[in-house]
Structure 1
Amino acid sequence: MRNWRAKTAALAAVSALALSACGSDSDSNGDGNGGNGGSGDAAASEGSGLSGTVTGAGASFPDPLFQEWIAEYTQQVEPDVTINYQSVGSGAGVEQFIGQSVAFGSSEEYLDDEALEEAAGARDCSAVQFPVVFGAVVIAFNDEALDGLVLDAETIAKIYDREITNYNDPAIAGLNPDMDLPDQEILPVHRSDSSGTTFVFSNYLDKEVPAWSDTYGASKELEWADGTLGGDGNQGVAQGISQNPGALGYVNQSFALEAGLSVAHVVNADGEAVAPTLEATSAASEEAEVPENFQFTIDGIGGEGYPIAGTNWIFTYTCGYDEATTDILKGFWTWALESERADELANELGYAPLGDELTERVLAEVEKTNSEA
């Protein structure tokens, strides 16, 4: 791991521009192109690299990193490949993946057994899902005087339930005895779309605050309290925070950095107020127990770990891709998991790569893509 950098040069989405696919005409029977979001032809000669185009869609949570990975891979590793990733939110990404309009999907909530069954029925073969990166969901503000404000799960839950409506509330003051808190109304900002980031945030509160569990639970979509503000995507929430006095919201860490937002220190299971650093995210990810089916959440984080941490999953199928699309999917995600450069880019943006043991397990899962063809 490289040391965390407080800022990055740019997080704007980088277009995955590459040379056009070359070679023979695309598959005309629909097995390779129609409905799976991928098209392309095998390399013309040994050593010429991959060639073709694939499209994926889903979570905005990893979008800054995915765009950097895609740019690096298509410009430096496989220049005859184009990869288009559409940051449409986890819910829409899952829908498009099951609807087979894209080659791969992405979400911060894994596909449960019901979703896997639906995906298998849509394609007549099994879906594959594997984690690729960990990241922190931060509580962000547009007031630099609030940087480092300490919050715990119960206080965050009450803010979003509109029980706590001012920054100088006694509950917040009790957690921040040395901070001069403003007499300022809090405007909670949340995701208005179906969101994996919302799942990570609400799953944390669901596990830590019984009242939240009873009223809201854990989901990609919630019925929010009156007096809150919705934003589309992590970008929309970051914008809502930036543009409204007193705003507070939950976003992936890289979006808070890009927008220059202040962030809270959140009390973890051991009572430690932890800043959302790369090291703290890595510490949280190392506590995750990952079963064979990769269906897991990161809960009850203590020690030096930041407690609101999530995982991004990628979804592919075990059948239905043409050869070039299969090679691109497997080649790109293998590079993203194995490459030192991919890890460097993740670290620069505040994401924690998988550990070595988990990476080996995930690489074996990646190989299942189109394995039933």
Structure 2
Amino acid sequence: MNLSRFTRAGSAVAVGLLALSLTACGSDPEPAGSTGDESTEASDSGDMEGGLSGTLSGGGASSQEAAQNAWRAGFQTANPDATVNYDPVGSGGGRTGFGDGSYAFAGSDAALEDEELAAAEEQCGADGVIEFPGYVSPVAIAFNLEGVDTLNMSPETIANVFLGEITTWDDEAIAADNPDAELPDTAITVVHRSDESGTTENFEDYLYAVAPDIWTEEPSGVWPVDGQESAQGTSGVVSAAQAGDGTITYADASQIADLGTVAVGVGGDFVEYSSEAAAEVVAQSPRTEGTSEHIYTIELQRDIEGTYPIVLVSYMLACTTYSDEATAELVKGYMTYVASEEGQQAASDAAGSAPLSDTIRDAVVPGIESISAG
């Protein structure tokens, strides 16, 4: 196992309560192989109250940014000598950074693919990767259209809008689902992620599942339609949508600010996004079969009536084995807090996410508890 590039930090396990102060979320991760005393050496006072110390660096999904802020704050309150940095570089960057050892942990809006898993196993060892759903949130279809706050759209209409086949807001397909709305003839401007994104992959997976005759591109983290407006990260697409009249985008619902939203057609109803509707989709969707012991990924079902079908299940990535005890205990402590009832409630309060069910928590805790040095 080649774990020497992970940043060293920490000396005991603890969890804590939400705080008001934290280091900047955009802090750069500690470079691989760093030897700075402050970030790499564990404190000798490991038995003190809140005994973790040092710096832990992770990065990945920008959708997790608000939740990571809450987790970091709570964890650092319990461990005032510990610092957790999270760089919201996007899911693709997080998976790459975890696979090459730049990050000791990562967040990803999509499960690891075979090639990515192989890279992670080079860092963690065979069957040594931990992957669990730490953050569950609806993905909102958000728009900026003067005088309109909410609209209904069928799956077919959504697919045609994002393909660029429906080009104005007064199109008959949109009007048919919104007979009482005053729709202008404003041009529709689609805004998508420019970076490789798990949010993109989840949104494409939804379109591919519910409108396969229209959306024929297999899901990936890269947007397949050329010639549309794009922006970096969740905050980027939201800012771009806010900047122009007639725009539409997809983004983690916690970060859409004052944009209008689409109620999505499911069966015979139109369903607004909510954390409760997102949680129900996850609860009724099965665990992926054929994975190793500590990998808990979910096969989302996109057509369950009464639920909101565009759901982001964002995963936490860690190793069961690290090169030194300091790193292992700090990662173990942070992951314990993330998965705990307190940590999940902190994320829900900060980001409107859906807390993990007891069933999922009970399934992932043994993997977290197995983290050690080797």
| TM-score, normalized by the shorter chain, greater than 0.5 | yes
Counterpart-to-counterpart distance in 1, 2:125 and 2:342: 36
Cα distance, 1:318 vs. partner? 2.7
Counterpart-to-counterpart distance in 2, 1:306 and 1:271: 13
Cα distance, 1:245 vs. partner? 1.3
Give 5+ residue unaligned stretches, structure 2: 1-19, 25-32
Letter aligned with residue 334 of structure 1 = T
Aligned length: 338
Task: Compute the TM-score of the two structures, normalised by the length of structure 2.
Answer: 0.84
Number of the residue aligned with 2:280: 283
Cα distance, 1:64 vs. partner? 1.0
Give yes or no for contact 2:68–2:347 (8 Å, CA) kept in 1. Answer: no
Give yes or no for contact 1:134–1:351 (8 Å, CA) kept in 2. Answer: yes
Change (3 A) 1:348 1:120: closer
Number of the residue aligned with 1:24: none
Q: Which of 194, 197, 221 lines up with 2:196 in the alignment?
A: 194
Counterpart-to-counterpart distance in 1, 2:195 and 2:219: 15
Cα distance, 1:122 vs. partner? 4.8
1:82 matched to 2:116: no
Cα distance, 1:92 vs. partner? 0.8
Comparing 231-240 and 287-296, the one that deviates more = 287-296
Counterpart-to-counterpart distance in 2, 1:86 and 1:348: 18
Change (3 A) 1:357 1:295: closer
Give yes or no for contact 1:112–1:295 (8 Å, CA) kept in 2. Answer: no
Counterpart-to-counterpart distance in 2, 1:140 and 1:206: 19
Counterpart-to-counterpart distance in 2, 1:118 and 1:345: 29
Give yes or no for contact 1:128–1:368 (8 Å, CA) kept in 2. Answer: no
Number of the residue aligned with 1:232: 232
Number of the residue aligned with 1:255: 255
Q: Which residues in structure 2 correspond to 1:1-373 (within 5 Å)?
A: 15-16=22-23, 39-41=40-42, 44-48=45-49, 49-74=51-76, 76-122=77-123, 124-125=125-126, 126-143=128-145, 145-214=147-216, 216-226=217-227, 228-256=228-256, 259-268=257-266, 270-291=267-288, 293-340=295-342, 342-370=344-372, 373=374
Comparing 300-309 and 154-163, the one that deviates more = 300-309
Deviations 1:70-105 (Å, cap 9, x if unpaired)? 11221x211111000000000011111111011111
Cα distance, 1:348 vs. partner? 4.4
Deviations 1:271-312 (Å, cap 9, x if unpaired)? 321111222222222222124642324222423211100111
Give yes or no for contact 2:110–2:315 (8 Å, CA) kept in 1. Answer: yes
Q: What SS does the aligned partner of 2:213 have?
A: helix
Number of the residue aligned with 2:17: none
Deviations 1:155-185 (Å, cap 9, x if unpaired)? 1111111110011111111111121111111
Q: What SS does the aligned partner of 2:222 have?
A: coil
Counterpart-to-counterpart distance in 2, 1:103 and 1:70: 15
Q: What SS does the aligned partner of 2:161 have?
A: helix
Comparing 297-306 and 244-253, the one that deviates more = 297-306
Comparing 162-171 and 321-330, the one that deviates more = 321-330
Q: What SS does the aligned partner of 2:321 have?
A: coil
Counterpart-to-counterpart distance in 2, 1:197 and 1:339: 25
Cα distance, 1:144 vs. partner? 5.8
Cα distance, 1:322 vs. partner? 2.1
Counterpart-to-counterpart distance in 1, 2:333 and 2:125: 24
Letter aligned with residue 151 of structure 2 = L
Q: What SS does the aligned partner of 1:210 have?
A: coil
Cα distance, 1:244 vs. partner? 1.1
Give yes or no for contact 2:98–2:104 (8 Å, CA) kept in 1. Answer: yes
> How large is the Cα RMSD of the aligned pairs?
2.3
Give 5+ residue unaligned stretches, structure 1: 1-12, 18-29
Change (3 A) 1:184 1:213: closer
Give yes or no for contact 2:159–2:215 (8 Å, CA) kept in 1. Answer: no
Counterpart-to-counterpart distance in 2, 1:170 and 1:60: 35
Cα distance, 1:151 vs. partner? 1.2
Counterpart-to-counterpart distance in 2, 1:193 and 1:341: 28
Give yes or no for contact 2:124–2:320 (8 Å, CA) kept in 1. Answer: no
Change (3 A) 1:290 1:124: closer
Give yes or no for contact 1:14–1:67 (8 Å, CA) kept in 2. Answer: no
Letter aligned with residue 286 of structure 2 = E
